[in-house]
Amino acid sequence: MREIWGVGTPRSFRPIWVCEELGLDYQHHAIGPRTGETQQPAFTELNRKQKIPFYRDSDVSLSESVAICRYLAHQSDGATLYVPDTKQSVAKEDEWCAYIYGEIDETGLYVMRRHGDLGAIYGESPEVVSAAADYVARHLSVVASHLGEQETLMSGGFGLADIMLMSCLDWCIAYGVALPAAIQRYYETHAARPSYGRAMRINYPDLFEGDA
Ligand SMILES: N[C@@H](CCC(=O)N[C@@H](CS)C(=O)NCC(=O)O)C(=O)O
């Protein structure tokens, strides 16, 4: 049985979306960030990093959202999720995932979080938050110029790179970072996927409280 730990963050959203996209069964442990749940001894035993998301099945235990998603994506038959199968396409997808994770997520949006929402821990700094927002905007414009009229980052179809980008775009919207027109169009296209809607409800239940 697959098990996924983590709820409420763009990082936990990613493996949930991959499972929903592929129709993979999994047990979800909805432990949230900054709740103390990642510090509990039972979870620490599973993941010494005390971070979500975390994944386990009978063959492997994994932390790191990209690694978990890539492992899950390899369980795709290619029908709904594009999985690259040449050295070049694997490297191109890797390039997009590393770029989105390294520049937009970690260096941009997470810096905004550290010095904004988590300012009490890491130091509040409106200047840093604003500079990081500009940094994200700069890299979104690179992505927008690549996308142009394309629907997906990889020409082979919707895949892991898009799940990485979409999870960051939700985060941009929440943080008030404007999306360039090509990215707004791209965002609306993929936000209409039923699997995206299901994953949103599972990962961000608070947003849907009170819905029928
Ligand atoms: N590089 C990791 C980052 C994981 C991470 O930093 N998770 C945060 C929430 S987004 C976390 O679990 N923080 C500890 C806590 O909130 O208790 C990944 O992509 O999975």
If one counts every other C-beta atom within 10 angstroms of the C-beta of residue 190, the result is 18
Q: Is the CB of 38 under 6 A from ligand 1?
A: yes
Query: DSSP states of the chain as a string?
Result: --EEE--SSHHHHHHHHHHHHHT---EEE-PPTTSSGGGSHHHHHH-TT--S-EEE-SS-EEESHHHHHHHHHTT--SSSSB---SHHHHHHHHHHHHHIIIIIIIIIIHHHHHHTTTHHHH---HHHHHHHHHHHHHHHHHHHHHHTT-SSSSTT-SBHHHHHHHHHHHHHHHTTPPPPHHHHHHHHHHHTSHHHHHHHHHH-GGGGTT--
CA distances from 170 to 37, 53, 191 (A): 24, 17, 10
Tens-digit pLDDT string for the chain (212 aa): 999 999 999 999 999 999 999 999 999 999 999 999 999 999 999 999 999 999 999 999 999 999 999 999 999 887 889 999 999 999 999 999 999 999 999 999 999 999 999 999 999 999 999 999 999 999 999 999 999 999 999 999 999 999 999 999 999 999 999 999 999 999 999 999 999 999 999 999 999 988 86
The pLDDT assigned to 125 comes to 98
Q: Is the CB of 32 under 6 A from ligand 1?
A: no
The pLDDT assigned to 212 comes to 67
Protein residue closest via CA to atom 3 of ligand 1:
64
Q: Is the CB of 203 under 6 A from ligand 1?
A: no
Q: Is the CB of 34 under 6 A from ligand 1?
A: yes
Ligand 1 center–CA 162 separation, angstroms: 20
Ligand 1 center–CA 10 separation, angstroms: 9
- Ligand 1 pocket mutation, candidates 51, 121, 160, 163, criterion most atoms within 8 A of CB: 51
Q: At what angle do helices 126-147 and 160-174 cross, to 10 degrees?
A: 140
Does the fold of domain 87-193 match that of domain 3-78+199-208? no
Q: Does domain 3-78+199-208 have CATH number 3.40.190.10?
A: no
Which residue ranges make up each domain of the chain? 3-78+199-208, 87-193
Ligand 1 atom closest to the CA of 6, numbered from 1: 12
Class of domain 87-193: mainly alpha
Ligand 1 atom closest to the CA of 66, numbered from 1: 19
Q: Is the CB of 33 under 6 A from ligand 1?
A: yes
Q: Quickly tell me which residue has 């290619």 as its tokens.
A: 78
Structure tokens at 154: 């990889």
Protein residue closest via CA to atom 9 of ligand 1:
33
The pLDDT assigned to 103 comes to 98
Protein residue closest via CA to atom 11 of ligand 1:
51
- Ligand 1 pocket mutation, candidates 5, 52, 109, criterion most atoms within 8 A of CB: 52
Cα pseudo-dihedral 51, 20, 184, 161, rounded to 10:
60
Ligand 1 center–CA 96 separation, angstroms: 20
Bridge-partner residues for 55, per DSSP? 4, 62
The whole-angstrom separation of Cα 98 and Cα 140 is 14
